[in-house]
């Protein structure tokens, strides 16, 4: 074939010059940033890094990425190694925002790679969207110099991506265009040829293709995909194509012969495959369908044999069949050939090929193929713990799709009871069903309907009543945050198509309407013409509904499941980021049909992967035969002063309950008590009078009329609940702990260890558990604490009871109170004198606080603007009755109040407290700290002591655990007990209520860099605690040891077994001990 090259002398001479890329970085094949690249972080810990995510990469699967969870705070730099620039060098790269929009600036430094060296800005890219933008800059002005290039990102929304960075210039390549001799197609058809294999150029993405104007044939091109067609002509025409290399300016040409055959007389063509679709399902029947077109010039009225063959990914024939059809087709007419039902029994990628078994004038269109996936669809599921099951319309005996359109007859949920249309993240006012709807053993008559495709039946913290502030944007789009069951923030959940959805006024709405007569009534809730919030260019809108039947059955139907929107961070169509599920009001029971999975803030897909939605799908949730045991839940109480408490348990079951009983023992024999139903599945048990000092052991049992039975704890009576009636015999010390403020059990174990080591008998009581109580007079000493010191009703009540306790002291029997809190003094500031917290602090601790500006403050160790934990010391004064005078005690704390001692009780309390003339002494003061080696309020007071003839008090403005040197903490406690005249006894008991072995919520959660995981053990034994990722892979063994019964805790630092830090995301803590297995979700944020 004749070829010609038109090369000017200058360009030819340039072609022999050496070009090179100093940097040609696609970030592939490595997991870190390339060698020599450096980053600067603004201090939030979120830095530029190498991230893998194929859906977001410009090429390959990896790219440079920076993100930030606190928008408008982050300013991060990514800096290249030093580069020696030659004339003609350029910077080229691709960049985009992860979500919404971002800005990116690029700087050059000729002096160094410190941030201060980057004074010349060369690019200022504003408003970058989620589509990649190509950026380039000619660096010839820096020829002969050594430079650094810095990418500076100031966070706008969330994250920025940079990929395929090139700095330098390419090797100059002589372009070539080596086309085939000819191409052939039929008149009236269209042929597309990919020219890519025939092109040689410097950069195939930076070329231009042109051609001479044809005489008869129509030619168009998209990139290197060239399309030929000829509707009214046949014959042969030669066309010359020209390739231009935009980088070098060089060109190459070649001539292609185009042959157009005349219209055939007889030509039955396979035009389009309608089935199989892109996704079919294992062992789920589908009917292959292909469109046949008469491309000939005469009427077709004969029999037509078409075969259908399926090949696996190794091109091995899996199955085949042939069918005969009798279409009567005029020229250009089409016919849908529908085959008998067909199914495939294994997952995989397959090719379906249709072939017309006919000799006609054009055999090229007698065969058509399509690749499709066969995936496993979990089209039946359950039962869950309550007994709910599901079956979809692809399953045997599944529901039949029967769409009920109420868009012209129903009432709007969005406008129900309000005066404005809010179509984004909006729960409706409670809409009525017109009947009682049973759901997980409870009955509901109304529902809160969210724009985002889900409803809540139970009272919740999302819904804001109209017209309160925020009523129009109270919805929840975060379907992926927690597993179901277990998403406690979503009580009584029915998730129909739960995603981030939007409803535009005038084009869409959500409707509800009830039908039928008792007992066969049903309510339809229809999301009509809604779209996804993210992305643009919707070609269709979503249309789906849920039908709630009076008998408790639920049918979900999907009329339209995709919009075709583009530009979102993750796919949404067909439920690719949706949740479809049910969950009980207490989130302990639930069943999931489809769930979105997100880990490390990266979208992983949905599970089960085969349960994507499609138009015409129906899902039926129903109870079926009751084979499930009654589901019992109970909040175990702690120790109590009430000798005859009432216990409550909730028992839910599909069937009528035959009995609900409490089995208890506080002596030698077990007794039984029948529960009294109080509604909503709750049963009360009024206990008999229990003598003080006795431990009450108990468990619950329930059975339904189908002889399904259960106990709680599940292994009862081997494992039981326990609490104690206080006070214990011969016990004078009460440890009053904070169950809510200390929910991660940071403080309680320290007190228990100190008391046990001192061999002191004590009782334990959670002062936040009961609304009312009276402290028995047998106690001479109370050790109380309040981590946060929050002014809650429970704290106010405790303050009053502690004052009553101190007032009950006598000269012969004085009372002692130790109170530790790093926030109590600050919390009572500004309250009236009648406030119990203020009266306790001023009148009994004879202590007060002052604001920061007045010389006090909320953090005497590090200052009011520091909220992190800091190390330091406190100094024991010569006035202190506790501690060794002149000794510094190590502390590690985040917000210890600075306090001051009264010389005497202030005037407003003189008539209310005993011995008002006696003041407090300064017991401890702040000493060392992070401010030039000193504490922020150097020698400011942090502990006071009061001693009167009838009581002693010691107020400590740290949490006791913040005395972080164990030996010093023990010595401090020993001094305290000596001052209180509390002496060791021969026997001591840990009177924590013995409850079931249980994994407690970790704190903090989310966390960074570490979190405390607390757990309880009912009895001594082997305990294994492990961390798993979302894929179920174990990443860390936290604990594998034999432990004593009681409460324990362990700290996880976010690292795996190899000591490597794990990425941000959702993980699961799993505890196994004996027959008990507990799992909780935790979130690591970096």
Q: What whole-number distance in Å separates Cα of residue 644 and Cα of residue 991? A: 18
Q: Are residues 223 and 152 located together in one domain of the fold?
A: no
HSE-up (13 A, CA, CB side) for residue 931: 16
Residue 805 has phi, psi (to 5 degrees) of -60, -45
State residue 15's pLDDT score: 37
With respect to residue 586, please indicate whether it lies within any of the assigned structural domains.
Answer: yes
845-883 pLDDT per residue, tens: 999 987 765 556 688 898 887 888 999 999 999 999 999
3-state class (DSSP) for residue 803? helix
Q: Are residues 56 and 155 located together in one domain of the fold?
A: yes
Q: Are residues 584 and 692 located together in one domain of the fold?
A: no
With respect to residue 721, please indicate whether it lies within any of the assigned structural domains.
Answer: no
State residue 991's pLDDT score: 46
CA proximity to 602, closest of 1005, 162, 1065: 1065
- CATH number of residue 791's parent domain: 3.40.50.880
CA proximity to 653, closest of 675, 633, 673: 633
Q: Give yes or no for a contact between 626 and 655, defined as CB atoms under 8 angstroms apart.
A: yes
The number of helix segments (H) and strand segments (E) in the chain equals 6, 75
Q: Give yes or no for a contact between 533 and 424, defined as CB atoms under 8 angstroms apart.
A: yes
Q: Are residues 536 and 664 located together in one domain of the fold?
A: no
With respect to residue 3, please indicate whether it lies within any of the assigned structural domains.
Answer: no
State residue 69's pLDDT score: 55
Q: Which DSSP symbol is given to 1050? A: E
Whether cis (ω within 30° of 0) applies to the bond prior to 383 is: yes
Question: Residue 679: beta bridge partners?
Answer: 682
- CATH number of residue 682's parent domain: 2.60.40.10
b/e map 316-328, b = 16+ CB within 10 Å: eebeeeeeeeebe
Q: Are residues 517 and 549 located together in one domain of the fold?
A: yes
Residue 490 has phi, psi (to 5 degrees) of -120, 75
CA proximity to 2, closest of 358, 360, 241: 241
Per the structure, the count of domains in the chain is: 7
Q: What whole-number distance in Å separates Cα of residue 869 and Cα of residue 748? A: 19
Q: Are residues 829 and 870 located together in one domain of the fold?
A: yes
With respect to residue 771, please indicate whether it lies within any of the assigned structural domains.
Answer: yes
Q: What whole-number distance in Å separates Cα of residue 820 and Cα of residue 747? A: 10
Pairing state of beta strands 90-97 and 190-194? unpaired
802-831 pLDDT per residue, tens: 999 999 999 999 999 999 998 899 888 888
Q: What whole-number distance in Å separates Cα of residue 167 and Cα of residue 34? A: 14
Q: Give the domain range for residue 1006.
A: 998-1084
Q: What whole-number distance in Å separates Cα of residue 795 and Cα of residue 841? A: 12
Q: What whole-number distance in Å separates Cα of residue 1047 and Cα of residue 333? A: 79
With respect to residue 10, please indicate whether it lies within any of the assigned structural domains.
Answer: no
What residues contact residue 383 under an 8 Å CB cut-off, 6+ apart?
Answer: 389, 591, 624, 627, 628
State residue 990's pLDDT score: 46
Q: Are residues 960 and 896 located together in one domain of the fold?
A: yes
Q: Which two tokens stand for residue 191?
A: 């042929």
Q: Which two tokens stand for residue 876?
A: 């024991």
Instruction: Examine the fold and report which residue of 980, 1015, 1043 is the final residue of a domain before the chain moves on.
Output: 980
Q: Which two tokens stand for residue 294?
A: 């008469």
With respect to residue 779, please indicate whether it lies within any of the assigned structural domains.
Answer: yes
Q: Are residues 441 and 471 located together in one domain of the fold?
A: yes
Residue 384 CB coordination number (10 Å): 23
Instruction: Examine the fold and report which residue of 375, 404, 424 is the final residue of a domain before the chain moves on.
Output: 375
Ranges of residues in the chain whose predicted pLDDT is under 50: 1-18, 70-72, 986-994
State residue 546's pLDDT score: 99
Instruction: Examine the fold and report which residue of 953, 980, 1007 is the final residue of a domain before the chain moves on.
Output: 980
- CATH number of residue 49's parent domain: 2.60.120.200
Q: Give yes or no for a contact between 68 and 155, defined as CB atoms under 8 angstroms apart.
A: yes
Q: Which DSSP symbol is given to 805? A: H
What residues contact residue 742 under an 8 Å CB cut-off, 6+ apart?
Answer: 748, 785, 787
Q: Are residues 1026 and 959 located together in one domain of the fold?
A: no
Residue 1011 CB coordination number (10 Å): 22
State residue 538's pLDDT score: 92
Q: What whole-number distance in Å separates Cα of residue 534 and Cα of residue 500? A: 8
State residue 284's pLDDT score: 84
With respect to residue 1016, please indicate whether it lies within any of the assigned structural domains.
Answer: yes
What separation in angstroms does the CA of 891 have from each of 413, 870, 877, 971, 1080?
57, 8, 16, 14, 32
Q: Are residues 927 and 819 located together in one domain of the fold?
A: yes
Q: What whole-number distance in Å separates Cα of residue 1012 and Cα of residue 1050? A: 6
HSE-up (13 A, CA, CB side) for residue 386: 30
DSSP E strands in 357-416: the ranges are: 367-375, 380-381, 389-392, 411-412
Q: What whole-number distance in Å separates Cα of residue 891 and Cα of residue 257? A: 87
State residue 136's pLDDT score: 93
DSSP character string of 539-604: SS-EEEEEEEETTS-EEEEEEE-----B--SS--GGGTT-EEEEE-TTSS-EEEEEEEEEETTEEE
In this structure, the chain runs to a length of 1086
Q: Are residues 781 and 877 located together in one domain of the fold?
A: yes
With respect to residue 8, please indicate whether it lies within any of the assigned structural domains.
Answer: no
HSE-up (13 A, CA, CB side) for residue 548: 28
Based on the number of CB atoms within 10 Å of its own CB, is 243 exposed (0-12), middle (13-18) or buried (19 or more)? buried
Q: Are residues 945 and 1063 located together in one domain of the fold?
A: no
Residue 679 CB coordination number (10 Å): 8
């Amino acid at each position: 074939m004749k070829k010609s090259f038109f090369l000017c002398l200058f360009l030819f001479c340039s072609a022999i010059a050496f070009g090179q890329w100093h940097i040609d970085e696609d970030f592939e094949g490595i997991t870190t940033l390339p060698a020599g690249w450096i980053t600067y972080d603004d201090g939030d810990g979120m830095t530029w890094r190498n991230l893998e995510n194929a859906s977001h990469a410009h090429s390959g699967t990896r790219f440079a990425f920076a993100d930030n969870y606190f928008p408008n705070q982050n300013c991060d730099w990514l800096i290249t190694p030093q580069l020696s620039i030659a004339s003609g060098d350029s910077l080229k790269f691709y960049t985009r925002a992860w979500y919404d929009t971002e800005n990116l600036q690029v700087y050059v430094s000729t002096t160094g790679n410190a941030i201060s060296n980057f004074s010349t800005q060369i690019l200022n890219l504003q408003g970058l969207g989620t589509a990649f933008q190509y950026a380039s800059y000619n660096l010839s002005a820096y020829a002969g110099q050594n430079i650094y290039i810095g990418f500076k990102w100031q966070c706008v929304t969330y994250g920025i991506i940079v990929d395929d960075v090139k700095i330098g210039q390419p090797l100059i390549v002589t372009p070539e265009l080596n086309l085939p001799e000819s191409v052939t197609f039929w008149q009236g058809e269209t042929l597309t040829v990919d020219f890519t294999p025939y092109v040689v150029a410097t950069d195939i993405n930076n070329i231009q293709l042109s051609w001479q104007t044809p005489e008869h044939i129509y030619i168009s091109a998209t990139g290197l995909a060239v399309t030929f067609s000829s509707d009214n002509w046949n014959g042969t025409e030669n066309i010359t194509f020209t390739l231009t290399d935009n980088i070098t300016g060089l060109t190459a040409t070649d001539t292609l012969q185009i042959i157009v055959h005349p219209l055939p007389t007889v030509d039955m063509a396979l035009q389009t495959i309608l089935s199989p679709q892109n996704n079919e399902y294992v062992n789920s029947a589908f009917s292959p369908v292909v469109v046949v077109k008469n491309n000939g010039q005469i009427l077709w009225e004969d029999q037509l044999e078409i075969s259908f063959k399926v090949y696996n990914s190794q091109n091995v024939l899996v199955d085949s069949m042939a069918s005969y059809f009798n279409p009567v087709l005029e020229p250009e007419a089409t016919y849908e050939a529908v085959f008998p039902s067909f199914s495939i029994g294994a997952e995989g990628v397959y090719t379906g090929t249709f072939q017309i078994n006919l000799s006609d004038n054009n055999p090229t269109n007698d065969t058509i193929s399509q690749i499709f996936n066969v995936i496993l669809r979990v089209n039946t599921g359950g039962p869950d713990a309550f007994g709910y099951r599901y079956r979809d319309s692809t399953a045997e005996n599944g529901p039949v799709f029967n769409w009920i359109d109420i868009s012209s007859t129903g009432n709007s949920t969005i406008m129900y009871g309000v005066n404005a249309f809010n179509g984004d993240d909006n729960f409706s006012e409670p809409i009525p069903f017109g009947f009682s709807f049973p759901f997980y053993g409870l009955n509901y008559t109304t529902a809160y309907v969210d724009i985002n495709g889900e409803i809540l039946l139970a009272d919740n913290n999302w819904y804001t009543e109209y017209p309160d502030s925020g009523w129009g944007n109270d919805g929840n789009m975060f379907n992926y945050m927690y597993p179901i069951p277990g998403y406690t923030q979503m009580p009584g959940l029915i998730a129909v198509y739960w995603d981030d959805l939007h409803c535009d006024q005038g084009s869409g709405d959500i409707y509800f309407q009830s039908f039928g007569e008792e007992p066969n009534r049903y309510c339809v809730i229809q999301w009509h013409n809604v779209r996804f919030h993210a992305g643009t260019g919707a070609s269709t809108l979503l249309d789906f509904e849920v039908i709630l039947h009076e008998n408790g059955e639920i049918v979900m139907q999907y009329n339209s499941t995709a919009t075709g929107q583009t530009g979102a961070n993750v796919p949404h169509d067909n439920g690719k980021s949706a949740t479809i599920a049910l969950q009980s009001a207490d989130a302990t029971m639930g069943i999931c049909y489809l769930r979105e999975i997100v880990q490390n803030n990266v979208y992983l897909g949905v599970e089960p992967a085969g349960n994507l939605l499609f138009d015409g799908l129906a899902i039926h949730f129903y109870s079926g035969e009751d084979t499930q045991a009654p589901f019992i839940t109970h909040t175990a109480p702690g120790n109590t002063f009430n000798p005859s408490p009432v216990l409550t348990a909730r028992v839910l079951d599909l069937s009528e309950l035959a009995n609900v009983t409490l089995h208890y023992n506080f002596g030698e024999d077990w007794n039984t008590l029948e529960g009294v139903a109080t509604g909503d599945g709750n049963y009360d048990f009024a206990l008999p009078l229990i003598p003080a000092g006795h431990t009450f052991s108990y468990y619950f049992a329930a059975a339904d009329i189908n002889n399904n039975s259960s106990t709680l704890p599940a292994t009862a009576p081997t494992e039981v609940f326990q609490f104690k009636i206080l006070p214990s015999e011969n016990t004078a010390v009460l440890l009053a702990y904070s169950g809510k403020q200390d929910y991660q059990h940071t403080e309680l174990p320290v007190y228990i260890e100190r008391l046990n080591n001192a061999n002191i008998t004590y009782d334990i009581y959670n002062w936040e558990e009961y609304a009312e109580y009276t402290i028995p007079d047998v106690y001479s000493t109370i050790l109380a604490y309040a981590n946060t010191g929050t002014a809650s009703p429970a704290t106010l009540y405790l303050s009053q009871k502690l004052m009553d306790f101190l007032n009950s002291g006598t000269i012969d029997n004085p009372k002692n109170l130790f109170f530790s809190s790093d926030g109590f003094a600050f919390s009572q500031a500004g309250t009236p004198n009648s406030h119990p917290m203020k009266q306790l602090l001023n009148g009994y601790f004879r202590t007060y606080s002052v604001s920061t500006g007045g010389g006090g403050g909320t953090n005497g160790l590090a200052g009011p603007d520091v909220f992190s934990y800091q190390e330091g010391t406190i100094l024991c004064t010569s006035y202190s009755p506790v501690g060794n005078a002149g000794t510094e005690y190590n502390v590690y704390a985040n917000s210890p109040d600075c306090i001051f001692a009264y010389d005497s009780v202030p005037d407003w309390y003189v008539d209310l407290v005993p011995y008002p003339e006696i003041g407090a002494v300064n017991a401890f003061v702040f000493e060392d700290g992070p401010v030039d080696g000193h504490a922020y309020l150097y020698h400011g007071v942090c502990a006071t002591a009061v001693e009167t003839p009838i009581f002693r008090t010691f107020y400590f403005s740290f949490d006791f655990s913040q005395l972080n040197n164990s030996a010093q903490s023990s010595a401090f406690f020993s001094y305290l007990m000596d001052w209180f005249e509390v002496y060791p006894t021969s026997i001591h008991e840990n009177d924590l209520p013995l409850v079931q072995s249980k994994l407690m919520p970790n704190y903090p959660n989310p966390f960074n860099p570490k979190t405390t995981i607390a757990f309880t053990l009912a009895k001594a034994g082997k305990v294994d605690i492990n961390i798993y990722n979302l894929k179920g892979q174990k990443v860390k063994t936290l604990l594998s040891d034999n432990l004593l019964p009681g409460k324990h805790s362990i700290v996880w630092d976010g690292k795996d077994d190899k000591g490597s830090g794990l990425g941000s995301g959702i993980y699961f803590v799993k505890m196994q001990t004996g027959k008990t297995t507990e799992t909780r979700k935790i979130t690591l944020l970096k």
